[in-house]
Structure 1
Amino acid sequence: MNFQRSVPCGTRLLRGAAAVLSIAVLAACQGTSKPKPAELPPKAEVLGVRQAWSVQIPTTTSFSLVANVSGDVVTVAGADGTVVAIDARNGTEMWRAKAGAPLVAGVGSDGTVAAVVTNENNLVALQGGKVLWKQKLSAETYTPPLVAGRRVFVQTADRNTTAWDGQSGRRLWTQTRTADNLVLKRPGVMLAVGDTLVAGVGGRLVGMNPANGASRWESPIAAPRGTNDVERLVDLTGTVSRVDNNLCARAYFASIGCVDATRGALLWNKPAQGSDGLAGDDRALYGTESNGVVTAWRRTDGERLWSVDTYKYRSLTAPLAVGRTLIIGEGTGQLLFLNREDGSPINRVSPDGSPIAADPVLAANTVVVVTRKGGVFGYRPE
């Protein structure tokens, strides 16, 4: 079979011919030398940064961790199933619990109830350091559960979305969709916007009624194209940048786009070659492309504002936009602080020397970052 669309090295796919494709991709990657990453620029210290606290959890090496923020609470997890809730104001552990098996997705939390998914396809809810309930899912999932409105929402790889009662674990409803032949084995999109549950389904953002799962609107960030499953793969992936009802998301190695969530209307979309989510404000969107280039786009129409190749061919996380700064995790363990006006470096720190495991998040005026070694670090500007 002749694939016209290239599949990035490291891409992991599920279902159908996924195993064959993954092996083929791996073989191709083994025979291809990667471009040499750009040398890190001299360390700048335009912005002072100090470590405020640190917490140790088990390693995070075998799954795509998403650190959850709810108010001042940051909830993180280790690959072995350890889940920890941390007060971001001072780094105090609020509770620590075990999900009972290694994890494949997490963490979702509303600050009280946390939810993760194990490699046994169990959805596990935890509260106050104890397992609250467990439920078996119909298929694998790699998107963290969403905990909101006293419910837990999960989207599985077969494109079904299910709501569970947050306290009892009783299933409330399921929205069933036609499964795709291939889906990405990485976190997708799910968030609450007012009284609407918004999820990524293929290349579309879909707004649902959280009470019963009925669809309210659908808006395409990217449309499938091509003649085979690989060419038509357009999953939404990573963090969404939200300003009021304006949502901007990324379709994996296809495009970025913004949607008005009030009426589900696509405002614009533009081609973009990246795999991680977006950050932004009312003026601009920020993202990292697959080749390590950091880019800013105008939020109103997607026109490019600036682009820097200082970290070209380095592995970067999605950015976090805080004040005048962009914070990005880097594959060799650096936490990069950039000027959000032009992408110039203003500082960098190395938490523990291991790669950054999750996109940086902000809680209680503290930048929180998790490493592959399981270090959870809180940083504040000086």
Structure 2
Amino acid sequence: MTSPSQSTDRSDAGSERIESRRPISRRTTLQSLGVIFTGVGAGCIGGSGPSSDRIRWRKSIRGQPLLDGGTLYVMGRLTLHALSPTDGSKQWVTEYSEDDFDQRLCLHSDIAVDDRRIYVPGCDGLRAIRRSDGEQAWFVDSPLRQGVGVGGGRVYANAEELLAIDASSGAVVWRADTGGDHLTTPAATADGVVFTNRVDGVVTAFDVDGERRWEHRTDAETRGPTIAGDTVYVAMSTEPGKAGRLLALNRADGTVRWTVDTPSPKRGTAPVVDGDAVYLGCSGREHGTLVALDRRDGTERWSFTDENSTVYEPAVTDDAVYAGSNDNQVYAFSRTGELLWQVETNSVVGTVVAGKEFLYAANNERLFAIDPS
């Protein structure tokens, strides 16, 4: 790929450097390559790996999948993939080099998207990549500690401060002192952002102009927040590996709606809200647990315990709930908690994403497309 011209200016808000077209290593547009298919009813997908008649294709890609607008995005260690969700063929791929970074594993896999760009957080800053062709739109030179939240034309990122970044230009609109290093991925909407300080257990909400709206102290280790309607849901680990709690806060003023005891929620995950239920993936010393709670008051509806130590953040559709586990399985449940099926993947499944046709699961070795029907 030819190197684009580089232009650099400084944000008035501070020292973050905004680069409109910082060079990347290379980008290529490919056709359907390297995908292994299996027909309906087949017992093996070829080569090494799991055997299941539900697996429709697989790719040797490691990273958390994100499905949006008919494209499946996966950020591997040094490569951003844009794939067809139907057959796994590559729409484009953007590759980086080890030489681009001072640290290994610098790019985080927990990417975010809006209607025009993909946001890739890293130890050196935030990259905005065009969805159309994989080219870089802008770069904010401020090392990030976690993933980013997207909402209302803004990208909210936890660096040394909480940054509100204009999604179109990459300009830093405002910054706020968050007073902590161990921060989680922010949850953003059109009128503001909520984030948690994991160690100190402080939940903070900011208005769209950067004014602090409210603050709530939990006095427990927190996970990332989830905003749904007029409520903010925050999972806490009161005794890591043993016990936890789920907190529902009024989004307007931070007052407590309800709180319930749960197993210890997995680090790096957030509550999943769908319809009238809240789902939480949890860890334990001997078993992991998936918990389904009533959204109105936190009453437990059902739970599932795996044969290992962790059930990860689930994906929810109108008809089913899907979750990966440390026991190398992908599980499918009805919305009432009945186990529908399970698929062995031969490695820990940390992320699942539900699409119109397939369920996409990522383990430590591969990305799978699974027929859920």
- The TM-score normalised by the length of structure 1 is 0.68
Q: 2:360 aligns with which of 359, 365, 368?
A: 368
1:303-357 Cα deviation digits (max 9, x unpaired): 2233343x14333212222233221112243211123313x42111234x23224
Answer yes or no: is 1:270 the counterpart of 2:268: no
Q: Deviations over 1:200-256 (max 9, x none)?
A: 23434433233x322223345xx22xxxxxxxx52323x73x543333231234421
Match in the other structure for 2:309: 314
1:258 equivalent to 2:263? Answer no
CA distance in 1, matches of 2:138, 2:116: 14
Distance 2:270 2:304 in 1: 18
The whole-number CA distance in structure 1 between the counterparts of 2:313 and 2:332 is 13
On the 8 A contact 1:249/1:278 being kept in 2, the answer is yes
Retained in 1: the 8 A contact 2:79–2:95? Answer: yes
- Note the alpha carbon deviations across 1:87-129, whole angstroms, 9 max, x for none: 435544332113544335231211421122334x222222221
Q: 1:281 to 1:166 in 2, by over 3 A?
A: closer
Q: Partners in 2 of 1:131 and 1:77 — Cα distance? A: 14
Q: Which residue of 1 aligns with 2:370?
A: 379
Q: Write the distance in 2 (CA, Å) between the matches of 1:258 and 1:49.
A: 41
Tell me how large the CA RMSD over aligned residues is.
2.9
Counterpart contact for 1:293–1:312, Cα < 8 Å: no
Q: Which residue of 2 aligns with 1:284?
A: 277
Whole-Å Cα distance in 2 between the matches of residues 333 and 356 of structure 1? 6
Structure 1: gaps of 5 or more residues: 1-47, 225-232
- The residue type equivalent to 2:205 in the other structure is G
Q: Give the secondary structure class of the aligned counterpart of 2:328.
A: coil
Identity of aligned residues (%): 19
Helix, strand or coil at the partner of 2:178: coil
Q: Are residues 1:84 and 2:81 paired?
A: yes
Alignment correspondent of 1:348: 342
Q: Tell me the CA shift for residue 131 of structure 1.
A: 2.4
1:324 aligns with 2:319: yes
Which has the higher relative contact order, 1 or 2, with Cα contacts under 8 A spaced 6 or more apart? 1
Q: TM-score normalised to the size of structure 2? A: 0.70
**What is the alpha-carbon distance in structure 2 between the residues aligned to residue 153 and residue 307 of structure 1?**
33
Specify the code of the residue in structure 2 equivalent to 1:77: M
CA contact (8 A) 2:289 2:310 kept: no
Whole-angstrom distance in 1 between the partners of 2:234 and 2:358: 24
1:155 aligns with 2:150: no
Q: In the TM superposition, what whole-angstrom CA distance separates every residue of 1:136-190 from its partner, at most 9, and x where no partner exists?
A: 21x551x21234444332113x4x211223343322221112226xx27xxx232
The structure-2 alpha-carbon separation of the partners of 1:49 and 1:153, relative to structure 1 and needing over 3 Å to count, comes to farther
Amino acid at match of 2:256: L
- Give the match for residue 228 of structure 1: none
Change (3 A) 1:245 1:95: farther
What residue in structure 2 maps to residue 244 of structure 1? 229
Rate the CA distance shift 1:258–1:338 in 2: closer, same or farther, 3 A: same
Structure 2: 5+ residue stretches without partners: 1-51
In structure 1, what is the Cα distance between the partners aligned to 2:147 and 2:358?
22
Which of 129, 137, 141 lines up with 1:132 in the alignment?
137
Distance 1:357 1:95 in 2: 25
CA distance in 2, matches of 1:325, 1:96: 32
Residue 179 of structure 2 is matched in structure 1 by 178
Pair 1:88–1:197, CA change in 2 (3 A): farther
The CA distance in 2 between the partners of 1:274 and 1:170, in whole Å, is: 35
Q: Structure 1's 357 and 304: CA in aligned 2 closer, same or farther, altered over 3 A? A: closer
Residue 109 in 1 paired to residue 105 in 2? no
1-structure distance, mates of 2:236, 2:176: 22
What residue in structure 2 maps to residue 14 of structure 1?
Answer: none
Write the distance in 1 (CA, Å) between the matches of 2:261 and 2:137.
43
How many residues matched? 300
Mapped pair 1:199 → 2:186: no
Q: 1:208 to 1:327 in 2, by over 3 A?
A: same
In the superposition, relative to structure 1, how do residues 363 and 207 fare at CA in structure 2: closer, same or farther (>3 Å)?
Answer: farther
Q: Corresponding residue for 1:190?
A: 186
Letter in structure 2 aligned against 1:151 = R
Partners of 1:89 and 1:247 in 2: how far apart? Answer: 34
For the residues of structure 1 that align with 2:355 and 2:303, how far apart are their CA atoms?
28
Runs of 4 or more above 6 Å deviation: none
- Report the 3-state secondary structure (helix = DSSP H, G, I; strand = E; otherwise coil) of the residue aligned with 2:349: coil
Seen in structure 2, the aligned counterparts of structure 1 residues 319 and 190 have a Cα distance that, compared at 3 Å, is: same
Residue type of the alignment partner of 2:187: L
Deviation digits for residues 52-108 of structure 1, max 9, x if unmatched? 544443x34xxxx4x4343433322112x2112334355443321135443352312
**C-alpha distance in 2, partners of 1:87/1:284?**
31
What are the Cα deviations for residues 11-51 of structure 1, in whole angstroms up to 9, with x where unaligned? xxxxxxxxxxxxxxxxxxxxxxxxxxxxxxxxxxxxx9844
* 1:209 is aligned to 2:241: no
The answer (yes or no) to whether the contact 1:193–1:245 under 8 Å persists in 2 is no
